[in-house]
Structures are given as structure tokens and as C-alpha cells.
Amino acid sequence: MVTVGTIIYEPGNSTNKTGSWRVFKPIMDKDKCVMCENCFIFCPEGCIKEKDGKFEIDYDYCKGCLICVNECPVKAISSIREEK
Amino acid sequence: MTEKQFPREEYLASGHRGCAGCGAAIIVRQALKAAGKDTIVVNATGCLEVMTTPYPETAWRVPWIHVAFENAAAAASGVERAIKVLQRKRKKYANKKINVIAFGGDGGTADIGFQALSGAMERGHNMLYIMYDNEAYMNTGIQRSSSTPLLASTTTSPVGTVIKGEDRPKKDMAMIIAAHGVPYVATACLSYPEDFMNKVKKACEIEGPAFIHALQPCTTGWKYDPKYTVKIGRLAVETGVFPLYEIKNGEFKITYRPLKRKPLNEYVKLQKRYRHLTDKDIEMLQKYIDERCKLLGL
Amino acid sequence: MSKVKIITGTSAAAEAARLCDVDVISAYPITPQTTCVEKLAEFVANGELDAEFIKVESEHSAISACIGASATGARTFTATSSQGLALMHEVLFIASGMRLPIVMMNANRALSAPINIWNDQQDSISQRDTGWIQIYAADNQETLDSIIQAFKIAENEKVLLPVMVNLDGFILTHTVEPVELPDEEEVRDFVGIYEPKHAYLDPDRPITQGPVGVPSCYMESKYNVQNAMNNAEKVIMDVNEEFAKKFGRKYGNGLIETYNIENAETVLVAMGSVCGTIKEVIDDLKQEGKEYGLLRIRTYRPLPINHIREALKNAKNIAILDKDITFGMNKGAVYTDLAGFLKDKKTTNYIVGLGGRDIRQDDIKEIMKHAEKAEDGETKWMGLKEQ
Ligand SMILES: Cc1ncc(C[n+]2csc(CCOP(=O)(O)OP(=O)(O)O)c2C)c(N)n1
Ligand code: SF4
Ligand code: SF4
Ligand code: SF4
Ligand SMILES: [Mg+2]
């Protein structure tokens, strides 16, 4: 049923798995990471998340733009071609 | 471990339909981290609105409203006054301070929404209007706007045999809004998150209208490899194409000063919308930029 | 305590908004609505009404600000006319689609070109498909009462649609009539406080209003508006009754009003202030032993098809007056709306009073005569000069 006024009541329910768009895949080397937060603040998908004091990429939503790879000052993120 | 710089809360959820590398999403993430939870967003029609809200899905975790293309500033005026009167008459919102932030593209702001924006700024509403400027109408397929820079090619300023790309210089929105006498105007770029987020915070704290003109590299419209979104934004600032400044209560201040401005070529060569530029064109553009930077004291 | 004041239609509208304790007003001046917004500005400036008056730079922004305010949860009022209403056109659909119970006063005025500030109903008729409930008042008292009723109708959970209350420019907007202003407390008790459950913007309940209506939901969202219109029919009737109980005045059944229809073979159908003139003519002719009837459409959207059909079931000649014209059909919109479900009747159409052309009693008599002799489907422009 479509709601009155097509209002969406569930905040942030865009669960569409945009990770399937990926052509390249960023791989993060957590040991190399110096927690500068660059990748975190520049990721357009907000899919780099902190867990137990370390950053992690959520591949369900990562579209593989590789901004994180380009912006990491210590080259802690590399990229590979996505295997489908 | 260093102290956490950026808030971890996400007010724009993953799963939105923006292109890979979309700068508009980066702008919104950064702005909302700075503004925080008690924020209501008003969004003009455009890429941002379309990519974030295909019913029944929304990427927004703050209250959000979209009305039309040209009226985000007017709709935000209504939201702002409603909050005020409901707090006064009906004791709603527990007298919390609520930020009203409007996001409009360059088309929705500098062109079709210009009148509504001017009205809202002049009336003194306590709101922040953020123009996310990707320098063309992206949602409808890269048509020029009054914010498209000189010589850039778009689908309505194509490179023809007679006219080569956009033939008019970019409209200076920040200065136009500053002329309204509003208490806070700034330029910003997603490649400088501390600078941008500071400005959003100041704009939210200030009583009255605030306007931030945020440059937004767009992978699809500017035609570059998506991994360069942040890099290109940085180059826009480092070359002086898009200087970062603020005008607080009439006081102008450069907020980021490049040690030495980079040559324009570094900026344009990464973008295929400038592919047709000759050395002479670049020289002409460089001159134009040098003059503008001189005016601003850069 | 209620009191009687001798006031214009625009003042009556402003008084109604004040009595309903609106929270946000957003409007832009245009003749002949102007005195309404001036009056409201005065109320706010004098502290007689605790509201925010947004002095917007255009009607497009006026209605857009109303949407923002209403979507935040405020009771919202605007007023306009003619070119202003036309400028709002795009946003009117959005107000109904977003299900926001905004109330508007529209002073019916002709549309340019040539520019003309006088009365006809082309402006509101041209907005008939925007999803707004449309009520046409016949006098200043009804203007005031209808705006009070409008908030109650619009905010009803079964409806949640914006309402436009129309009154004829100059004929009502600029003519003073005695109007009973009901007691403020009683009106506030009648309309209550707007407490929306569906749409309000609050950081503690982050909802998304106005998303992209993808094809898988768009038709349903429009069907919902149609359903709300269906529901509105009964709500309008109920509110009319409730209002009568509390304030002692009623307007037909809320949807239509009939006059001497039982005795008449020839019935005129009209909207707005012209109905006053028609009633006078009916009374005069009755003295001569001639019977004519009037069906006044008070609620044009939702169009009360069954009520109209039922009221006209014994009529032989139905003369439909239009203060508007659908170019290329040589018919008025009211006629084209009604003809479709009055196929078994003889219907004729009269284009009257465009751009402030007087509608005299003689014109009404001529219409009555013409309707009796005319062929089914004829259209006549009344008072047209020889070219
Ligand atoms: C009144 C109106 N005219 C035109 C359009 C079509 N339209 C929708 S979005 C858009 C361009 C948006 O450009 P901009 O504001 O720069 O935002 P962007 O998509 O680039 O983010 C246009 C022309 C519309 N929706 N409404
Ligand atoms: S590749 Fe792009 S989307 Fe994926 S994590 Fe890196 S920045 Fe985010
Ligand atoms: S950019 Fe590199 S160093 Fe910085 S947080 Fe990300 S992975 Fe770590
Ligand atoms: S076209 Fe540009 S602004 Fe639009 S979604 Fe793609 S990258 Fe973002
Ligand atoms: Mg744009």
C-alpha cells in the first residue's frame, strides 16, 4: 500500500545493494592504515565504517569508485578488478 | 591513536543511487556530520533528490522534504517559520535549536530558484542554504547553467565548429548573496572537509540566513575517472579556480591560501569537458583566473 | 460572543483565518485579494493573531512556503487571485499530492491577456484538476463560514487535502455586507488544533516527504487523492451540518443548494454570487406565475455528481452558466463536467460575465427563455456586443 502523501517513514532504508555496481574493488590493509580518516570522510557511500578501532569497507554498498585508494596517504588501500 | 576528527554518525545512508564517486553525496555526508541530528533538510529537484529517494526507499536519516525544482528556499522559509511558531504557540520541539538546511543544485539555485533564494535571504530566515555546484543540470543530462564555467562543454554548450563550449563566464553566487547583506556567506569544497564542516557549523550557529556555495566535482558531467572527485576539487582550489573564503558579518576572509597557485592546466587536463581547449584557450582562462584571484587577494 | 460587522469579502476571509488561529500565513498581494493580506498583516502586527506572516516575493513562493509550513505541522493559510493562482499552478498539484491541508482564499478574477482585474471564474476553474477541494461562496457570510469549515474539512484524516474557497472578485471582495463573526472560542473549539499524524518534520521522527514517485507507486498515490476526494463529499456534508448546529447557518447540503427546483421544468445551474441575482429573478417570475429553479454548485471539487443528478431528475431544460470558457469546445468547464452525466436531459450552456461583464436580471431571464426553446447542447455567449 502506498502511504498517504507517499511519505517514507523508515529513515535510511535504502537497502539497495549498490555493491553490485562495482567494477574495481578496494582492498584495505588494516595494518598499514594510520587512521587518518581520509577514506572515511571522502567515501560517497559512507560505507567505510569504524569497527573495533579500525576502518572496514562494507562491500554491500561500496561502488568501487576508488576515491579511497587515491586519497590514502600511506597507500593502505589498493584495488583489484572485481570478480563476478 | 589520534583523536577522532570526524563524527561517526551517518545521516545519509548507503544504498543511494548516485554515480560511483558522486561528489554530491560527499557534500551531504560532510554537511550533516557538521550540522548533527537536529536538522531538517529541504531539497530542490535535481540529482541529489532523485538519487536518494526512489519511493519507498530513502537514504535520509534526518527529516527531509522535497517540493519542486525552483522553490527549495521558499519551502525552507515555511519550515523555518513553522518551527518558530510551533515552538511559541504549541511548545513543540522542546525549544531545541533546529537547523533548517536547504540543498539546491546550481540550476535550482542560480537559475530557476534564484528569485525564491533571493527572497528567502532578504527576509532573514534562520536557515542555511547550500548550493551544491556541479556546474550544470546533471539530472537532466548535463545542460549548461549560469554556473557552468567559461569554455566548458555541456550538451547545450557543445563544442561546435563555430562556438566551442560555454560562451559565458560563471555566475558568482556567493558574492550575489553577500550583496543581500546576510550574516554568513562562504565558499567551500568537499576536498577540504574541515574547512567546509567548520563553515556549516558557523552557518548553523549564526542567527539568520547563511549561504554556502560548495563546489562539487561530478564524474559524469565533468567526464573524469571517478577516483579523482576529491583530487579535482583540490585542484580547483589550488589553482585558484575556486577560492575558499567566508564573509562573516561583512568581513571577508580567505580560509585557505595555497602556498603557490598551481597552473590551471593541471585542473583542466583531467576533465574531458575541457578536452577541446587549445593552449591559447588555457592561456586566456589562466588570465581570467589570475585577475579574479588578484581581486580576492590570492 | 458573536458580533455583526459590515465588511467586505476579503475582510471576512481574513477574519475567518484569524478566528481559526492559523499558525503560518504566506501570501502575495494581487487585486482584488489585496485587502485580505493587508488585514491579516494588521492582525499579526497588532498581536490579534499569533501567527508568522511570510511576506514572500511571489505567489509561487507563497504556496511553496505554505507547503513547507504545513509539512512541518502548522495550520497554514494563503490567499490569491487570477495571475497569482496561475503562477501557483505547478505547486498546487504538489500540495494535494503531499496531502497537506492548506486553506486558500481565491478572489475570482479573469486571466490575461488582455489584462483584466474584474471578475470571472476562469482562474480557479483552470485549477480544477490540481487535487484541491473547491468551494464557491455566494456571499461574504458564506466566505467566512466556508473558510472555517475548510480547515475542518481539509484536516479531517479521511481527507487531508488542500481547500480553495472562492469568492467573486469585486462583487464580493469589495462589497460590504453584514457578516456575523462567530465567537472566537467557539470557532477554535469547532476547528480544534491541527495535530497531523501523517506529515510533520521533526528530528525525533525523521521522515521523507516528497520522494520520487517511481512508476510502481505513482498511480496508487494519485488514486489515494481520488479516494480522499470521495471521502470529502461526506465530510463536507457533515461539517456543514455540524456548523449549522453550532452557528445556526447552513449552505444547502454543503455540496449543492437548490432553490424552487421542485416546481420548475427549467433549472439554472451556477456557482458563486450570480446565484443571488438568479434567486431574485426566480422570485419575480413566481409573482407572474412562472416557475424556474436554481441549482447552485457550492462544492465544485469533489463534484457531487449523484447529488446533482438527483436534484435535476425532474428538470426538463437545464441551463448551465459558466464564468469561464474552454477554448476550442465553445463550452464552459462546468457544462462539460455536467453534460457527461446528464445525457438524458436537454442541457444548454451560457458563457456569462467574463472579465467583469455585468450579468443583469434581463440576462438571466433571457437565459431562462432560451433554455426552454433551444436545442440540446447549444452554447450562447451572453451580453456579447455585435462585432
Ligand atoms: C519547473 C521545472 N523545470 C525543469 C525541470 C527539469 N529538471 C529537473 S532537475 C533539472 C536540473 C537540475 O540541475 P541542478 O539544479 O544543477 O541539479 P543537479 O541535477 O545538477 O544536481 C531540471 C532542468 C523541473 N523538474 N521542473
Ligand atoms: S571505492 Fe569508493 S565507494 Fe568503495 S569504499 Fe572506496 S571510496 Fe567508498
Ligand atoms: S585513508 Fe588510508 S590511512 Fe587514512 S584511514 Fe583510510 S586506510 Fe587508513
Ligand atoms: S551525475 Fe554527477 S551529481 Fe549526479 S549522481 Fe552522478 S556524479 Fe552525482
Ligand atoms: Mg547541477
Domain hosting A67: range is 17-81
> Is B51 close to ligand 4, i.e. is its CB under 6 Å away?
yes
Q: Report CB contact under 8 Å: A5, C97.
A: yes
User: B185's torsion region: left (phi>0), alpha (psi -120 to 50) or beta?
Assistant: beta
**Cβ-Cβ contacts under 8 Å, B16 against chain A:** 14, 18, 45
> Which residue from A28, A34, A47, A69 has its CB within 8 A of the most atoms of ligand 3, so it is best to mutate?
A34
Q: Is the pLDDT of residue C329 over 70?
A: yes
All three cell numbers of C24: 503560518
**Cβ-Cβ contacts under 8 Å, A58 against chain B:** 14
CATH label of the domain that carries residue C10:
3.40.50.970
The reply to whether C198 and C66 lie within a common domain is: yes
Q: Is A9 part of any domain?
A: no
Q: pLDDT for A3-58, tens place per residue?
A: 999 999 999 999 899 999 999 999 999 999 999 999 999 999 999 999 999 999 99
Average pLDDT of the residues of chain C = 98
Distance (Å, whole) CA C290 – CA C294:
14
Is pLDDT larger for residue C387 or for residue C303?
C303
* Structural domain ending residue among the three candidates C203, C224, C247: C247
Q: How many domains does chain C have?
A: 2
Q: Is C54 part of any domain?
A: yes
Mean pLDDT of B216-232: 98
Domain hosting B160: range is 23-296
> What residues have CB less than 8 Å from C184, skipping those under 6 apart?
C19
Average pLDDT of the residues of chain B = 97
Interface of B with C in 86-105 (CB under 8 A): 86, 88-90, 92-93, 96, 98
Q: pLDDT for B50-96, tens place per residue?
A: 999 999 999 999 999 999 999 999 999 999 999 999 999 999 998 89
Predicted confidence band at B2 (pLDDT cuts at 50, 70, 90)?
low
Atom 7 of ligand 4 has which residue's CA nearest to it? B22
CATH label of the domain that carries residue C339:
3.40.50.920
Q: How many domains does chain B have?
A: 1
* Structural domain ending residue among the three candidates C197, C227, C247: C247
Q: For residue C386, what pLDDT is reported? A: 85
User: Does this model's pTM top 0.95?
Assistant: yes
Q: Is B15 part of any domain?
A: no
Those residues of chain C whose CB sits closer than 8 Å to some CB in chain B are 23-24, 26, 50-52, 54-58, 60-62, 64-74, 76, 90-91, 94, 98, 193, 201-203, 205-214, 217
Q: For residue C1, what pLDDT is reported? A: 85
Distance (Å, whole) CA C308 – CA C132:
20
Q: What is the B106 CA–ligand 5 centroid distance (Å)?
A: 5
The reply to whether C59 and C178 lie within a common domain is: yes
The reply to whether C53 and C158 lie within a common domain is: yes
Is pLDDT larger for residue B231 or for residue B3?
B231
Atom 5 of ligand 4 has which residue's CA nearest to it? B18
Q: How many domains does chain A have?
A: 1
Q: Is B8 part of any domain?
A: no
Q: Is A51 part of any domain?
A: yes
The reply to whether C97 and C232 lie within a common domain is: yes
CATH label of the domain that carries residue A65:
3.30.70.20
In A40-68, which positions are buried (b, 16+ CB within 10 angstroms) versus exposed (e)?
A: bbbbbbbbbbeeeeebebeeebbbbbbbb
Mean pLDDT of C328-343: 97
Closest CA to B42 of B110, B111, B93, B109: B109
> What residues have CB less than 8 Å from C166, skipping those under 6 apart?
C106, C107, C108, C121, C124, C134, C135, C136, C137, C272
- Shortest CB distance from C69 goes to which of B49, B79, B118? B79
Distance (Å, whole) CA C57 – CA B118:
9
Q: Is C38 part of any domain?
A: yes
Q: Is C387 part of any domain?
A: no
Q: Is A12 part of any domain?
A: no
Q: pLDDT for B11-23, tens place per residue?
A: 999 999 999 999 9
Phi, psi of C91 (to 5 degrees): -80, -20
The reply to whether C288 and C376 lie within a common domain is: yes
Phi, psi of B281 (to 5 degrees): -60, -45
Q: pLDDT for B245-258, tens place per residue?
A: 999 999 999 999 99
Assembly ipTM: 0.98
Q: Report CB contact under 8 Å: A46, B23.
A: no
Secondary structure percentages of chain A, helix, strand, coil, to 5:
20, 25, 55
Q: Is the pLDDT of residue B3 over 80?
A: no
Looking at the DSSP assignment, which residues form a beta bridge with residue B198? none
CATH label of the domain that carries residue B117:
3.40.50.970
Q: For residue B1, what pLDDT is reported? A: 41
The reply to whether C222 and C182 lie within a common domain is: yes
Amino acid identity at C351: I
Domain hosting C368: range is 256-381
Q: Is A33 part of any domain?
A: yes
| Chosen from C208, C219, C223, C227 to mutate, greatest number of chain A CBs within 10 A | C208
Q: Report CB contact under 8 Å: B53, A6.
A: no
> Is A43 close to ligand 2, i.e. is its CB under 6 Å away?
yes
What are the DSSP calls for chain B, one per residue? -PPP-S----SB-TT--PPTT-HHHHHHHHHHHHH-SSEEEEE-SSHHHHHH-BTT---BSS-EEE--SS-HHHHHHHHHHHHHHHHHHH-GGGG---EEEEEEEHIIIIITTHHHHHHHHHHT-S-EEEEEE-SSBTTTTSB--TTSPTT---SSS-B-SS-BS--SPPP-HHHHHHTTT-SEEEEEETT-HHHHHHHHHHHHHSSS-EEEEEE---HHHHT--GGGHHHHHHHHHHTTSS-EEEEETTEEEEEE--SSPPPHHHHHTT-GGGTT--HHHHHHHHHHHHHHHHHHT-
CA distances from C208 to B25, B35, B59, C182 (A): 17, 18, 9, 39
Amino acid identity at C235: V
Q: Report CB contact under 8 Å: B23, A40.
A: no
Mean pLDDT of C235-258: 98
Q: Is B55 part of any domain?
A: yes
* Structural domain ending residue among the three candidates C196, C221, C247: C247
> Is B134 close to ligand 4, i.e. is its CB under 6 Å away?
yes
Minimal C-alpha gap between B10 and chain A (Å)? 7
Q: Is the pLDDT of residue C104 over 70?
A: yes
Q: Is B13 part of any domain?
A: no
